[in-house]
Amino acid sequence: MTIDVSYTDDDFLYEGKAKYLFEVEDSGEHLVQRFKDDATAFNGKKFAQFEGKGQLNCAFTTHFFDALNDAGVDTHFHGRLNETDMLIERLEIVPLEVVVRNVVAGSLSDRTGLDEGTPMESPIVETFYKKDELDDPILCDCHVEMLDLVEPQQLRDLKAAALEVNDVIEPMFADAGMRLIDFKLEFGFNAAGALVLGDEISPDTCRIWDAEDDRHLDKDVFRRDLGDLIETYEEVADRLGVQVELIED
């Protein structure tokens, strides 16, 4: 399906660490999200560029958001426009990084002293404050309430939606011989006030381990200098059946 939207580089709205946003000439309800080749870690302290990463992450996000839309999860994704760009619904983003964890790793291992790879009985959902100047600290529900970031019921809805996303995407990895260890989501409110899943889902925002040998198949290869990022992302795309090249219709 071809989506007909009009935008140019002059319609630039916002630059984040991994993506740009552009305005489109419509009612104002849509934006274009463009994936960059940039990789950052540790709140921008580590930086590099990898040719093709933008295209890969646009393809991953298309793949997962298509599956989530099909499963009835409300997402901002309206379709891929070209190699790096997708049409999205304009959201007012909640300043929370919502992390779902199936297995102990990363900052949960640092915080608890549990070894990376320690299994968990059921998934958990954590919230981090999106605030670069504070290095995105973890927030308890009482802090989210105190800061008035979302209403208590909205926080419960947001966590339930994050677990629904896990229910959809975790089996996609398992079926391809990979373990979805954890991942980060962002949510926002649309013009009608509904809570909608935004941002991206890609190996930049997930921890993915090979089911056989626990090889890291995500941005930890860059954060921890474990291997070639593009080769790793291409392997994951291939195993998941993600369509990276565009087929004109």
With respect to ligand ASP, which residue has the nearer C-beta, 43 or 82?
43
- Count of residues interacting with ligand ASP (CB under 6 A): 7
Residue 94 beta carbon to ligand TMP: minimum distance, rounded to whole angstroms: 15
Partner from ligand TMP, ligand ASP, none contacting 40, C-beta within 5 to 8 A by type: ligand ASP
Judged by CB under 6 A, the residue of 35, 64, 77, 183 near ligand TMP is 183
Let me know: does 105 contact 117? Beta carbons within 8 Å.
yes
Q: Which of 33, 62, 84, 205 binds ligand TMP (CB under 6 A)?
A: 205
Q: Are 62 and 247 within 8 A, CB to CB? A: no
Q: What is the 3-state secondary structure (H, E, C) of 205-239?
A: CEEEEECCCCCECCCHHHHCCCCCHHHHHHHHHHH
Which amino acid appears at position 188 of this protein? G
Percent composition of the chain: helix, strand, coil (DSSP 3-state, to 5): 30, 30, 40
The two tokens of residue 56 are 């890969």
Order of strands across the sheet that contains 119-129: 138-139, 119-129, 96-103, 178-185, 206-210
Shortest Å, Cβ 47 to ligand TMP = 14
Cα dihedral 206/44/105/141 (nearest 10): -90
Minimum CB separation of residue 151 from ligand ASP in Å reads 26
Q: Is 40 in the site for ligand ASP (CB under 6 A)?
A: yes
By the 8 A CB rule, do 178 and 166 touch? no
Closest contact distance (angstroms) between CB of 11 and ligand TMP is 26
Type of residue numbered 195:
L
Q: Is 99 in the site for ligand TMP (CB under 6 A)?
A: yes
Residue 182: name its binding partner from ligand ASP, ligand TMP, none (Cβ under 5 to 8 Å by kind): ligand TMP
- Pairwise CA distance, residues 181 & 243, whole Å: 23
The least distance separating ligand TMP from the CB of residue 205, rounded to whole angstroms, comes to 4
43 binds ligand ASP (CB under 6 A): yes
Which among 42-50, 109-117, 122-130, 160-168 is the span making contact with ligand ASP, rule CB under 6 A? 42-50
When CB distances are held under 5 to 8 angstroms depending on the partner's kind, the choice from ligand TMP, ligand ASP, none that residue 41 binds is ligand ASP
Our finding on whether 90 is near ligand TMP (CB under 6 A) is no
Residues within the interface to ligand TMP (CB under 6 A): 99, 105-108, 136, 182-184, 205-207
